[in-house]
A and B are shown apart, each in its own frame.
Chain A
Amino acid sequence: MEKILDVKNLQVSFDTYAGEVKAVRGVSFHLNKGETLAIVGESGSGKSVTSKSLMKLIPNPPGRITSGEILFDGKNLVTLTEKQMQNIRGSDISMIFQDPMTSLNPTMTIGKQIMESIIKHQKLPKKKAKEKTIELLEMVGIPNAVMRISNYPHQFSGGMRQRVVIAMAISCNPQILIADEPTTALDVTIQSQILELLKNLQKKMETSIIFITHDLGVVANIADRVAVMYAGKIIEIGTVNEIFYNPQHPYTWGLLGAMPNVIYRGEELITIPGTPPDLLNPPKGDAFAARNKYAMEIDFRIEPPMFKVSDTHYAATWLLHEKAPKVILPEDLKKQGQSLPNEKSRERLLKKTDKKEKLLEIKNLKQYFPIGKKQSVKAVDGLSFDIYKGETFGLVGESGCGKSTTGRTISRIYNATDGEILYNNESIFGRKPGSELQKLNQKIQMIFQDPYSSLNPRLTVADIIAEGMDIHELYTNKKERMERVYELLETVGLNREHANRYPHEFSGGQRQRIGIARALAVNPEFIIADEPISALDVSIQAQVVNLLKRLQKEKGLTYLFIAHDLSMVKYISDRIGVMYKGRIVELAESDELYQNPLHPYTKSLLSAIPIPDPNTERTRRRIKFDDKLSRNGEEEPVLREVKKGHWVACTEQEYRKFKNKDSEVI
């Protein structure tokens, strides 16, 4: 196979006030013509920095390539001048960025932005460039390209914008396309479309792709080879099958185990304890040793070299040394893609919900937001469901479906336009004496999505956690207050020493723990968790989810878990409601929903989740959902119970069909 890019011992550092941060510490890999190499790793692993260094896009200062070679087309890119690099960028190597909302210039039409690089590199006259741009837009699947070319980025949806970015990147037929988390900011159904598009383009243009991501499901879908990065190094590299079915490095095991699998559902996710090392002072020996339960003494002293597993598969762990004890793959990993939950657990669950009393009843809830004259956005439009005591109710849907609004309306951040919410059989709306409102506030708590913006940066952790207790007067003296804060910190897995620090001193996962401690501080019964893990890394996500599960068991909490990550929702929830355009279209126990989805929207949503299993991914078919097609006739679909505990929004006719099908199965 023809090597198109060869990276040798690349090292990148950033100069900060605290000292030199070695973000990339000797990375070597090559890229073959026409293949897709995925670089996987958590935030801070150096994967983005590596990819940006390939195009020398690291801001300098503070960043600089300290040593190494990037061989491309007979040239060493490291030694090229900025001027020479400008001729390579966009023409031979181009890049797609993570967030299509910010990677396009808002004050320039998309046509101009695409034409720019065509005019620069291919020296085409304006008219020709415009024709080519229209061609490109059609190629990436933007309908009505002739008109759309003069639109501005804000007139496109997120998925469409990413198509524009892709059109821009492929405009000069680059040999290498670097995609830096191109689907992370998108909804799953859009994500699967974009991945599909990239694959098709690659086939057509024979481009080599470097695909950077943290999502192993996406990797299984798109990659030919995979490089796993940790603390600025590649610790394992191999073909996609080798990495998924024969992983050698304990960190890879951890990553694979921390991803909840839609098919397999275990009791607890495998977590990687601790956090990635500080690259200001990289640890001696294997950087992963401190978090590795299989670590041997040598791991703390000498860095492991790359051991050869096969011609294509290398891993940097001392476990592969001939003198190392044989460690077998963790049991749980083997179960991947095999076992399905049995009927027993389903029955158990049904019984559980049968006995339980309703904690929260939502009846025909409507939440409209006025926008100008007599118009309003119907964020939530006739929503009804119940939440039982002690369960976890998962609310899923794509961005804009109204799931977050629902959470906020329940916590009375918004005043509902119409409808009723009963908490313990009492309405939460209407005029109430202050004391009653306060009690309600105490019982219903929220955990927010972004652990960076949801904690006041000017308050100490102790004050953040104790604020609710102050308001509700839950302690008698200062000492008791601090005792309670310490206790909470320990409950969520932090130390009491953390109480006097400020939020910026903590990592994302730790901050989310603080957010959880804050919610717990007032002894709530019901917690609304609004995308509590979507801002966190996979291994940290698993830690937080396990913590939430443990707390539920210990304190008998009820959760409303709002998320767009369906695999995680499935893992944590007892029952799931699928939201679409402000309504629930399907509601069932989580296993039932995943095995027997009835509504076409649910089906398309489920088919779009990438599963971290290359073999499954290769054979899967995506189901497309078209709102107009699924509507037959004028009849409004109504939520009906098709099977015990399984509700679907359907018409009378569909209802009979579902019923019949169901009885056949039984």
Chain B
Amino acid sequence: MVQNLHESISNQGSFNDGGVEKLAKYIFSRVGYMLVTFFVIATFTFFLMQTLPGSPFNDERLSESQKERLNERYGLDEPVPLQYITYMKNIFKGDFGVSFQYDGRSVSNIIGERIGASAVLGTQSLIVGTILGIILGIIAALRHNTSIDYGAMVISVIGISVPNFVFAGLMQYWVGVRLQWLPVAFWEGFEYSILPTISLSVFVIATIARFMRTEMLEVLGQDYIVTARAKGLNGFSIIIKHSLRNAAIPIVTILGPMTVSLLTGTLVIEKIFSVPGLGEQFVKSIMTNDFPVIMGVTLFYSVLFIGIVLIVDILYGIIDPRIRLTGGVK
């Protein structure tokens, strides 16, 4: 047993060598879990969809025979379990079916066409929000218990509690209509993305600023900061080199859910600014009971989410050497 202990200690010393191999193994096993999660979500959404009232074809203008023909064409006349099996089979082949509302267009096609705007919007707001949030949080922490700190926190509380469509409406009116600085709607270039990006990032800024402030305050009180000061480092390098990375660890944790809330946030914002994004399409499809598109977008969102969680976990290891995949998979 003593021998083992010695071995494990010496192994620990050199565990950096097998780091890449370990990471690959880790990602591989995580992808396995992701597939299972994906399967469960697909099944769940499929049956949830079945409980929705109405059918995509309950248009009063259609005759019974026409409806029957449509049902037959899209395979909706078959028993539910059979539909489920066909659907799952197709998914694993990469085929998400054909839309009901747009004749003959495949779901993948629709998602592919719509994802661009949403991705731009989401990424921009995430980057802007995170950077501004971190800066605001650091300033508030450094000016702890001063009017700057209180001011930053008031802004933050407003940002969290006021829904983003309120900001969207206000900005459309003031910046767009009154001042005529920026376009109010549509998606025809970078300047069209500014207002929706700001409306989306307010929540991100506010949340991250609050977290960052708390974390910074905690980190600045740590012994190793005193050590750094005792080394004669100046304030700037103490913040950049010693505090930021430590304070960022919890920020990474909230970044995952934050991205997801951004995704759902785009549903409304895209509608308000008439951005032809995935969210806007999602809302439209729900109105028209377009099952394949709803399913497709839902699955797309969940894959995105699972992917983000994986990225966050890997980021964690990069930022915090203490949890560098030593214990294996949870």
Residue of B nearest to A104 (CB): B224
Q: Give the interface segment out of A91-99, A130-138, A212-220, A514-522.
A: A91-99
Task: Give the distance to chain B from A50, nearest Cβ to Cβ, in Å.
Answer: 15
The CA-CA distance from A90 to B228 in the complex, in Å, is 9
Task: Give the distance to chain A from B47, nearest Cβ to Cβ, in Å.
Answer: 36
Q: Which A107-135 residues have a C-beta within 8 angstroms of B?
A: 107-108, 116-117, 120-121
Given contacts A103-B224, A104-B224, A373-B328, contact A55 B230 (CB under 8 A): yes
The CA-CA distance from A108 to B2 in the complex, in Å, is 31
The CA-CA distance from A89 to B227 in the complex, in Å, is 10
B232 and A90 within 8 A (CB):
yes
Contacts of A310 in B (CB 8 A): none
Q: Which B284-330 residues have a C-beta within 8 angstroms of A?
A: 319-322, 327-328
The CA-CA distance from A89 to B234 in the complex, in Å, is 10
Given contacts A155-B12, A381-B1, contact A116 B224 (CB under 8 A): no
Residue of A nearest to B14 (CB): A147
Cβ of B253 within 8 Å of any chain A Cβ, yes or no, is no
The CA-CA distance from A581 to B1 in the complex, in Å, is 10
The CA-CA distance from A356 to B2 in the complex, in Å, is 37
Given contacts A90-B232, A97-B227, contact A107 B319 (CB under 8 A): yes
Residue from B2, B231, B322, B327 within 8 A of A371 (CB atoms): B327
Cβ of A372 within 8 Å of any chain B Cβ, yes or no, is yes
Question: A241-274: contact bitstring with B at CB < 8 Å (1 yes, 0 no)?
Answer: 0000000000000000000000000000000000
B328 and A165 within 8 A (CB):
no
B232 and A57 within 8 A (CB):
no
Cβ of B222 within 8 Å of any chain A Cβ, yes or no, is yes
Cβ of B241 within 8 Å of any chain A Cβ, yes or no, is yes
Residue from A95, A120, A150, A581 within 8 A of B233 (CB atoms): A120
A-B contacts, 30 of them at CB < 8 A, read A57-B226, A83-B234, A86-B232, A86-B233, A89-B229, A89-B231, A90-B230, A90-B232, A90-B233, A91-B232, A97-B226, A99-B223, A102-B222, A102-B224, A103-B227, A105-B246, A106-B246, A106-B320, A106-B321, A107-B246, A107-B319, A108-B245, A116-B233, A117-B232, A120-B233, A147-B14, A148-B13, A378-B1, A581-B5, A627-B2
Task: Give the distance to chain A from B232, nearest Cβ to Cβ, in Å.
Answer: 4
A108 and B241 within 8 A (CB):
yes
Contacts of A90 in B (CB 8 A): 230-233
Residue of A nearest to B328 (CB): A372
Q: Knowing that A105-B224, A108-B242, A116-B231 are A-B contacts, what are 15 other residue pairs whose CB atoms are under 8 Å apart, sorted by A's residue number?
A: A86-B232, A90-B230, A90-B231, A95-B230, A103-B224, A105-B242, A106-B246, A144-B13, A151-B16, A165-B227, A168-B227, A168-B231, A371-B327, A581-B5, A627-B2
Contacts of A91 in B (CB 8 A): 232
Q: Max chain A CB contacts within 10 Å: which of B12, B241, B321? A: B321
A94 and B224 within 8 A (CB):
no
Residue of A nearest to B321 (CB): A152
A106 and B226 within 8 A (CB):
no
The CA-CA distance from A470 to B245 in the complex, in Å, is 48
Contacts of A372 in B (CB 8 A): 327-328
Question: A150-174: contact bitstring with B at CB < 8 Å (1 yes, 0 no)?
Answer: 1110110000000001001100000
The CA-CA distance from A107 to B322 in the complex, in Å, is 8
Q: Max chain A CB contacts within 10 Å: which of B1, B12, B223, B328? A: B223
Contacts of B319 in A (CB 8 A): 107
Size bin of chain A's contact surface: 35 or more
The CA-CA distance from A487 to B234 in the complex, in Å, is 57
The CA-CA distance from A117 to B227 in the complex, in Å, is 11
Contacts of B245 in A (CB 8 A): 107-108
Cβ of A4 within 8 Å of any chain B Cβ, yes or no, is no
Cβ of A146 within 8 Å of any chain B Cβ, yes or no, is no
Interface pairs A-B: 7 shortest CB-CB:
A90-B232, A89-B232, A90-B231, A102-B223, A117-B231, A152-B321, A95-B230
Given contacts A120-B232, A378-B1, A581-B2, contact A155 B13 (CB under 8 A): yes
Cβ of A295 within 8 Å of any chain B Cβ, yes or no, is no
The CA-CA distance from A117 to B229 in the complex, in Å, is 10
Q: Which B191-223 residues have a C-beta within 8 angstroms of A?
A: 222-223
The CA-CA distance from A648 to B241 in the complex, in Å, is 52
Cβ of A88 within 8 Å of any chain B Cβ, yes or no, is yes
Cβ of A438 within 8 Å of any chain B Cβ, yes or no, is no
Q: Which residues of B contact A (CB under 8 A)?
A: 1-2, 5, 12-14, 16, 222-224, 226-234, 241-242, 245-246, 249, 319-322, 327-328
Number of A-B contacts (CB under 8 A): 95
Residue of A nearest to B319 (CB): A107
Contacts of B328 in A (CB 8 A): 372-373
Cβ of A660 within 8 Å of any chain B Cβ, yes or no, is no
Given contacts A106-B322, A381-B1, contact A151 B232 (CB under 8 A): no
A57 and B223 within 8 A (CB):
no
Q: Which residues of A contact B (CB under 8 A)?
A: 55, 57, 83, 85-91, 94-95, 97, 99, 102-108, 116-117, 120-121, 144, 147-148, 150-152, 154-155, 165, 168-169, 371-373, 378, 381, 581, 627
Contacts of B16 in A (CB 8 A): 150-151
Q: Max chain A CB contacts within 10 Å: which of B232, B234, B249, B322? A: B232
A105 and B228 within 8 A (CB):
yes
Q: Max chain B CB contacts within 10 Å: which of A86, A99, A381? A: A86
Contacts of B224 in A (CB 8 A): 102-106
Contacts of B246 in A (CB 8 A): 105-107
Task: Give the distance to chain A from B311, nearest Cβ to Cβ, in Å.
Answer: 19
The CA-CA distance from A95 to B12 in the complex, in Å, is 29
A88 and B321 within 8 A (CB):
no
The CA-CA distance from A150 to B19 in the complex, in Å, is 14
Contacts of A103 in B (CB 8 A): 223-224, 226-227
Residue from A94, A108, A154 within 8 A of B231 (CB atoms): A94
Contacts of A381 in B (CB 8 A): 1
Task: Give the distance to chain A from B8, nearest Cβ to Cβ, in Å.
Answer: 8
A104 and B227 within 8 A (CB):
yes
Q: Max chain A CB contacts within 10 Å: which of B222, B228, B231, B242? A: B231
Given contacts A89-B231, A120-B232, contact A107 B321 (CB under 8 A): yes
The CA-CA distance from A321 to B142 in the complex, in Å, is 52
Residue of B nearest to A156 (CB): B13
Task: Give the distance to chain B from A309, nearest Cβ to Cβ, in Å.
Answer: 35
Task: Give the distance to chain B from A147, nearest Cβ to Cβ, in Å.
Answer: 7
Task: Give the distance to chain A from B223, nearest Cβ to Cβ, in Å.
Answer: 4
The CA-CA distance from A95 to B226 in the complex, in Å, is 10
The CA-CA distance from A97 to B226 in the complex, in Å, is 9
Residue of B nearest to A178 (CB): B230
The CA-CA distance from A581 to B2 in the complex, in Å, is 9
Contacts of B222 in A (CB 8 A): 102
Contacts of B14 in A (CB 8 A): 147
Residue from B229, B233, B234 within 8 A of A57 (CB atoms): B229
Contacts of B228 in A (CB 8 A): 105, 116
The CA-CA distance from A152 to B328 in the complex, in Å, is 19
Contacts of B232 in A (CB 8 A): 85-91, 117, 120-121
Task: Give the distance to chain A from B4, nearest Cβ to Cβ, in Å.
Answer: 9
Contacts of A117 in B (CB 8 A): 231-233
Task: Give the distance to chain B from A178, nearest Cβ to Cβ, in Å.
Answer: 9
A154 and B223 within 8 A (CB):
no
Contacts of A106 in B (CB 8 A): 224, 246, 320-322
Contacts of A169 in B (CB 8 A): 230
The CA-CA distance from A57 to B224 in the complex, in Å, is 13
Task: Give the distance to chain B from A92, nearest Cβ to Cβ, in Å.
Answer: 9
Q: Max chain B CB contacts within 10 Å: which of A116, A121, A373, A378? A: A116
Residue of A nearest to B228 (CB): A105
Contacts of B322 in A (CB 8 A): 106, 152, 154
Contacts of A105 in B (CB 8 A): 224, 227-228, 242, 246
Q: Max chain A CB contacts within 10 Å: which of B1, B14, B227, B229? A: B227
The CA-CA distance from A378 to B13 in the complex, in Å, is 21
Residue of A nearest to B225 (CB): A105
Task: Give the distance to chain A from B221, nearest Cβ to Cβ, in Å.
Answer: 9
Task: Give the distance to chain B from A14, nearest Cβ to Cβ, in Å.
Answer: 15
